[in-house]
Structure 1
Amino acid sequence: MNTALGIDLGTSELKLALVDETGALVASAGSPLTVSRPHPHWAEQDPHDWWDALVLAARELRERHADAWARVQAIGLSGQMHGAVLVDEERRVLRPAILWNDTRSSAQCDELMRRLPSLPQIAGNLAMPGFTAPKLLWVAEHEPELFRRIGQVLLPKDWLRWRLTATAVSDMSDAAGTLWLDVGRRAWSPQLLQASGMTLAQMPAVIEGSAVSGTLQRDAALALGLPEGLPVAGGGGDNAASAVGIGAVQPGEGFLSLGTSGVLFVVTDRYRPNPDSAVHAFCHALPGRWHQMSVMLSAANGLQWVTRLTGFSSEAALLERVEALSDAERDRAPLFLPYLSGERTPHNDPHATGVFFGMDNETDAARLGHAVIEGVGFGLADGLQALRDAGTEVHRLTLVGGGARSAHWAQLLANTLGIELQTVAGAEAGGAMGAARLAWLALGRDERDVCRAPTPRALFQPRADRHAALRPRLEGFRALYRATRELAPRA
Structure 2
Amino acid sequence: MFLGIDLGTSGVKVVLIDDSHAVCGTGHARLGVDTPKPGWSEQQPQDWIEATRAAIGDLALPLDRVAGIGLSGQMHGAVCLDASDRVLRPAILWNDGRASDEAAQLDADPQFRAITGNIVFAGFTAPKLVWMQRHEPDLFSRITRILLPKDYLRLWLTGEAISDMSDASGTAWFDPARRDWSDALLSATGLDRTMMPALAEGSQIAGHLRPKVAAELGLPAGIPVAGGAGDNAATAIGAGITGPGPGLVSLGTSGVIFAATDRFLPAPETAIHAFCYALPGQCHQMGVILSAAGCLEWWSGICGRPAPELLAELDPAPALPGRIAFWPYLSGERTPLNDPTLRATFTGLSSRSSRPQMTRAVLEGVALALAENMAALRAAGGGADALIAMGGGARSDLWLSMLAQATGVPVLRPAGAETGAGFGAARLGLMAATGAGSEVLTPPAIAARFEPDPALIPGWAEALSRLRQL
TM normalised by structure 1 equals 0.91
Contact residue 271 and residue 290 of structure 1 kept, 8 A: yes
User: Map of 1:203-218 to 2, 5 A cutoff?
Assistant: 203-218=196-211
1:190-223 deviations in Å (ceiling 9; x for gaps): 1111111110111111110111112111211122
1:45 aligned residue = 43
Secondary structure of the residue aligned to 1:126 is: coil
Q: 5+ unaligned residues in a row in structure 1: which ranges?
A: 482-491
1:133-185 deviations in Å (ceiling 9; x for gaps): 01111111112122111111011111111111111110000111111100111
Query: Which of 442, 445, 457 does residue 452 from structure 1 map onto?
Result: 442
Q: Does 1:358 align with 2:358?
A: no
1:78 aligned residue = 72
Contact residue 440 and residue 450 of structure 1 kept, 8 A: no
TM superposition outliers: structure 1 runs of 4+ over 4 Å = 324-327
Contact residue 336 and residue 477 of structure 1 kept, 8 A: no
User: Map of 1:79-158 to 2, 5 A cutoff?
Assistant: 79-114=73-108, 116-158=109-151
Q: How many residues align?
A: 470
Secondary structure of the residue aligned to 1:21 is: coil
1:315 aligned residue = 307
Contact residue 372 and residue 464 of structure 2 kept, 8 A: no
Q: Give the aligned residue type for 2:355.
A: A
2:357 aligned residue = 367
Secondary structure of the residue aligned to 1:443 is: helix
1:398 aligned residue = 388
Q: Give the aligned residue type for 1:7.
A: I
Q: Does 1:343 align with 2:337?
A: no
User: Map of 1:362-441 to 2, 5 A cutoff?
Assistant: 362-441=352-431
Secondary structure of the residue aligned to 2:413 is: strand
1:237 aligned residue = 230
Q: 5+ unaligned residues in a row in structure 2: which ranges?
A: none
1:183 aligned residue = 176
2:27 aligned residue = 29
Post-superposition shift, 1:292? Answer: 0.7
Post-superposition shift, 1:442? Answer: 0.9
Query: Distance between the aligned counterparts of 1:186 and 1:23, measured in 2?
Result: 29
Post-superposition shift, 1:335? Answer: 2.7
RMSD: 1.8
Secondary structure of the residue aligned to 1:52 is: helix
Secondary structure of the residue aligned to 1:226 is: coil
Query: Distance between the aligned counterparts of 2:29 and 2:361, measured in 1?
Result: 34
1:55 aligned residue = 53
Cα gap change, 1:4 to 1:307, in 2 (>3 Å): closer
Secondary structure of the residue aligned to 2:187 is: helix
Query: Distance between the aligned counterparts of 1:347 and 1:18, measured in 2?
Result: 38
Q: Give the aligned residue type for 1:47.
A: P
Q: Give the aligned residue type for 2:209.
A: L
Q: Give the aligned residue type for 1:453.
A: P
Cα gap change, 1:98 to 1:355, in 2 (>3 Å): closer
Query: Distance between the aligned counterparts of 2:316 and 2:223, measured in 1?
Result: 53
Question: Which range moves more in the overlay, 386-395 or 103-112?
Answer: 103-112
Contact residue 68 and residue 433 of structure 2 kept, 8 A: yes
Query: Distance between the aligned counterparts of 2:112 and 2:374, measured in 1?
Result: 24
Larger Rg: 1
Q: Give the aligned residue type for 2:28.
A: G
Query: Distance between the aligned counterparts of 1:202 and 1:326, measured in 2?
Result: 52
Post-superposition shift, 1:369? Answer: 2.3
Q: Give the aligned residue type for 1:112.
A: L
Contact residue 371 and residue 407 of structure 2 kept, 8 A: yes
Q: Does 1:262 align with 2:255?
A: yes
